[in-house]
């Protein structure tokens, strides 16, 4: 039996919000599972997001990103994809996955090759300010200082969406200014597209360069 790794993507931005592994029709069963009104595994953020999308008649884009895999290969690649894109509940990315993947096989062990690939992806990456503060304070057994709290607030996702942003053309002329990323929606812009430019994941969005207003 051959397995594959799939993504559920936002139909507007095509940004993935879930990564999974399966075989047969597994990738499409979430669409029927999300209609169940039971609690537990069908009441998480992923299924709530699916229910909302379907109620608005904007179904997700389902992509098979790699197929013809053994189950072990599929599990390993699922782990790599989740790590690469980042989980929402860890403030690392847009994925609604609640785990790092790789579950489903009793006694599953990630191969040495996969471990090396995961280490290679992390080379040159620095932990966030919030992560560094928590590690430092955990080692010291201390509570958060006022300074660390301030720095974490400045780098939190909520603060990110409240900051004013500007859009420039290729000649450096300011075309738009918004009080927040959320307000950019009023100008017909998608908040995820603007965010990707601000975070450096893409260069332009709708032909414009986006910067925080004080940058």
pLDDT tens for 154-212 read 555 555 567 888 988 888 888 888 888 878 887 788 878 888 888 788 888 888 998 88
Where b means 16+ CB within 10 Å and e means fewer, 158-183 reads eebeebebbbeeeeeeeeeebeebeb
pLDDT at position 143, please?
62
Per-residue pLDDT band at 137 (split at 50, 70, 90): low
Q: For the whole model, what pTM was predicted?
A: 0.47
**DSSP conformation class of 195:** H
Q: At residue 62, does pLDDT exceed 90?
A: yes
Confirm if 156 and 129 have CB atoms less than 8 A apart: no
pLDDT at 86 over 70: yes
What is the model's pLDDT at position 155?
54
pLDDT for res 65 = 94
Structure-model confidence comparison of residues 104 and 93, the more confident one: 93
Average pLDDT over the chain, rounded to an integer: 79
């Amino acid at each position: 039996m051959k397995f594959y790794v799939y993504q559920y993507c936002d139909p507007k931005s095509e940004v993935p919000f879930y990564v999974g592994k399966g075989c047969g029709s597994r990738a499409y069963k979430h669409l029927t599972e999300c209609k169940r009104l039971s609690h537990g595994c069908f009441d998480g953020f992923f299924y709530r997001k699916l229910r909302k999308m379907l109620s608005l008649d904007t179904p997700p884009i389902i992509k098979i990103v790699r197929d013809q895999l053994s189950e072990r290969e599929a599990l390993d690649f699922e782990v790599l994809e989740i790590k690469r894109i980042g989980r929402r509940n860890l403030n690392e990315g847009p994925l609604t996955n609640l785990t790092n993947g790789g579950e489903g096989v009793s006694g599953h062990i990630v191969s040495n090759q996969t471990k090396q690939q995961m280490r290679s992806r992390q080379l040159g990456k620095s932990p966030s300010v919030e992560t560094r503060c928590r590690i430092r304070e955990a080692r010291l057994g201390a509570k958060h200082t006022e300074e660390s709290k301030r720095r974490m607030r400045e780098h939190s996702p909520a603060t990110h969406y409240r900051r004013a942003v500007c859009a420039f053309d290729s000649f450096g002329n300011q075309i738009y200014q918004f009080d927040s990323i959320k307000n950019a929606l009023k100008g017909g812009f998608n908040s995820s597209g603007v965010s990707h430019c601000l975070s450096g994941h893409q260069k332009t969005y709708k032909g414009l360069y986006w910067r925080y207003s004080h940058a």
